[in-house]
Chain A
């Protein structure tokens, strides 16, 4: 934000305020002219003129072709208007449609047309009726690709914000689910909804979130990720400071934990805030799998975190400085295979890591049938052939492979990429200072994590500051009935969420 010149942003208002509030004309022909003038070079603008039943007042229906639902437009608006119904109001037969409002200014008219509403201009009237006939091409509700789950629901958010709200409402049919709406983007005018549970979520955090959102002054917000970048606490941190999910069930469970969900219209993922570091290592499946199994998987994720972050660095440190810690048998085999490699360990590791990252990135862009080819080519080239050619040692291949596998275990894609990125500085530190370098790197990272905040809430919680209650759901997951308190790291107002006892029936 620092790079933008604030002065010019303040003066550069797109429209004059007086211009916006111009009233509607009385004559229909004049109004049609006005509309045509406002929408030059808009072939999708349809103006349908007709005489309304029952008195034959001339009228015109104005809408954008692709943004309206033709079916309801034809049968529920045009049919009653043209052929008449029993109900007559203000000289015209009442269309059988629920969403209906009266507009009086031109700016409202323009906005309503752009949003996909159909507008009825009537001759001799200085107001316009807008009918909600919004309808545009939509994707069906599918399992989200990035966060597929084994046992959770298989519904994912879609690109229509209202649908996403309804998906969450299905999980929490509660009056305390509050939704506050904001519009972001001068051109884009994206609807952004903040969802929260009034009696759980902390009002201070809500205020912070609302303030931040209202301060976003941009052209358009195309995607949730863009919005997150504008409102996050530390833009220079490698870590994601908001959870972004496409799963309504996980959004609902976060709401119940006292967090906020920000739905951005036209984007299938939602922001969940405030986030903590450990919440990126939790997944929805954790709560539908038995707790012992989940605990094991949780621990696995933490181990994977360290492997993904530190394994290549440890390899470099061990073979360039601290070779004394390698058991002698391994030492001999590592040294034997390293002896063929003409590059220093850092270059060797960087080459392989960059190769793997390229393969991963290439795999995303390729269609699935071709993607397999990348796997095979990469597997053979990076694997055996590179070792045989003496470009890398075979231990390095194992290191790179384990690191790659470990970095894909995270339920959150954002955290996975953050860790993948961070291992490069770690490798650099290791190649400069050995194990000491790794320790320095880890200390810096821990320091950063402790200082980091998400919406003003400590990011390191429940580890720093230590919240013992939340430990039940951090490294392991204890049975659900032991977690009768909501997580304290979100500062919920209502702390208890369930009965303290497990329902045992009649067995005592």
Chain B
């Protein structure tokens, strides 16, 4: 009996256990899959949340609520007033932030609940909307899956071709606290449909500075040595006639096995960055006659020239905006710490004076399946 007693006792105790109190069954969860943050004309915060509805009887499978709120957390209660289930941020796919919000300093702290409450995810994609965020959230495209999934897919897929950056809240937080790099986020626009237009570059204080398109985003990724996915370019050969209706001078290629080597120096009171880009190129399109086997190097030189021109233009742009989306500051801190330390808090300024030289070397390794 003495051995049975503890067994019985523990069984009784177990049967009275209540378990964890934060239990929410899956269908009682209202996932804030999309969160939108806007400012209205009077600079009031407008928060919008889109969440899926699991009921079979509901005709529309998405519920959206737009509310004026003081903070994001407070808006959750606003939302719960009308939503079917309890709102949580555990699976947020994207945080859409209006351009007007991003133009003001200190917007990042709005996302604080995502970072502090461990139940919320830090893997939400951060997107800047060129326009008003809740206009996108309320969209229900008929020919696409659920908007939240569609948006997430759109951003990820375009990122595979390096047309935009894909940045999660966690990345954004690092970029924000890191002095040597300025953040860049995906940029969206609503133009009847939803378009991923490229990347929005932010300054050191997190304010929106300028936008770049898919082509420049590829250059950004190469300079960042972030060389995953496909890099596809279409160039025009300056030495060829333009063609009347159809282009005669265009050629396309995709670059693979890219190697990026950044050398950091300091000369004449300014930083110098020598970036050597080596890439192997596979031609995918060519509109003019050329014997690649014999005259391939001519095209290679032409490519290199064009690349260097584009890099120069891109770097000029970011230097003018006094931002550093490439993260050259990290190189400077690593290799030229003595010179970096005094300027670390105004690195954008220091970079704008720096010499950034990009040297490109291309080798055509594949001309495709026709001659």
Contact = CB atoms under 8 A, between A and B. Distances in A.
Interface of A: 2, 236, 318-321, 323-324, 326, 328-329, 331-332, 334-336, 338-341, 344-345, 428, 431-434, 436-437
Contacts of A341: 27
A432 B55 contact: no
B12 interface: no
A326 B1 CA distance: 46
Contacts of B319: none
A324 B26 contact: no
Nearest to B54: A339
A320 B25 contact: yes
Interface string B5-37: 001000000100111101111110101010000
A320 B23 contact: yes
A328 B93 contact: yes
A335 B19 contact: no
Contacts of A336: 54, 56
A321 B91 contact: no
Given A323-B90, A328-B149, A340 B56 contact: yes
Contacts of A345: 25-26
25 contacts: A2-B1, A236-B3, A236-B7, A320-B23, A321-B24, A323-B26, A323-B29, A324-B91, A326-B26, A328-B91, A328-B93, A328-B149, A328-B152, A331-B26, A332-B54, A335-B54, A338-B26, A338-B27, A338-B54, A339-B54, A345-B25, A431-B19, A432-B20, A436-B20, A437-B19
Query: What size tier do the contact residues of chain B reach?
Result: 20 to 34
B176 interface: no
B90 A339 contact: no
Contacts of A329: 149
B146 interface: yes
Q: Which of A320, A334, A335 has the most CB atoms of chain B within a 10 A radius of its CB?
A: A335
A324 B56 contact: no
B93 A339 contact: no
B52 interface: yes
Contacts of B55: 339
Instruction: Among B22, B25, B52, B91, find the residue whose CB has the most chain A CB atoms closer than 10 A.
Output: B25
Interface of B: 1, 3, 7, 14, 17-20, 22-27, 29, 31, 33, 52, 54-56, 90-91, 93, 119, 121, 146, 148-149, 152
A462 B146 CA distance: 52
Nearest to A348: B25
Contact of B24 (A320, A326, A332, A432): A320
Given A431-B19, A432-B17, A434-B20, A331 B91 contact: yes
B249 to A, nearest CB: 44
Contacts of A344: 25
Contacts of B7: 236
A432 to B, nearest CB: 3
Contacts of B14: 428
Nearest to A432: B19
A336 B56 CA distance: 7
Given A2-B3, A332-B52, A339 B19 contact: no
Residue picked from A332, A334, A428, most chain B C-beta under 10 Å = A332
A2 B3 CA distance: 10
Nearest to A319: B26
A437 B148 CA distance: 32
B27 A339 contact: yes
Which 8 residue pairs spanning A and B have beta carbons closest together?
A432-B19, A339-B54, A319-B26, A339-B27, A324-B90, A338-B27, A335-B54, A335-B26
B25 A338 contact: yes
A431 B26 CA distance: 13
Contacts of B17: 432
B93 A321 contact: no
A127 B266 CA distance: 119
A324 B119 contact: yes
B9 to A, nearest CB: 15
Nearest to B2: A2
A431 B91 CA distance: 21
B27 A335 contact: yes
Contacts of A436: 20
Contacts of B149: 328-329, 332
A344 B54 CA distance: 16
A185 B351 CA distance: 94
A415 B359 CA distance: 67
A434 to B, nearest CB: 6
Given A335-B52, A338-B27, 14 more contacts: A319-B26, A321-B20, A323-B90, A324-B119, A324-B121, A326-B26, A328-B152, A331-B26, A332-B146, A338-B25, A339-B27, A432-B19, A433-B20, A434-B20
Contacts of A328: 33, 91, 93, 148-149, 152
Nearest to A235: B3
A479 B301 CA distance: 60
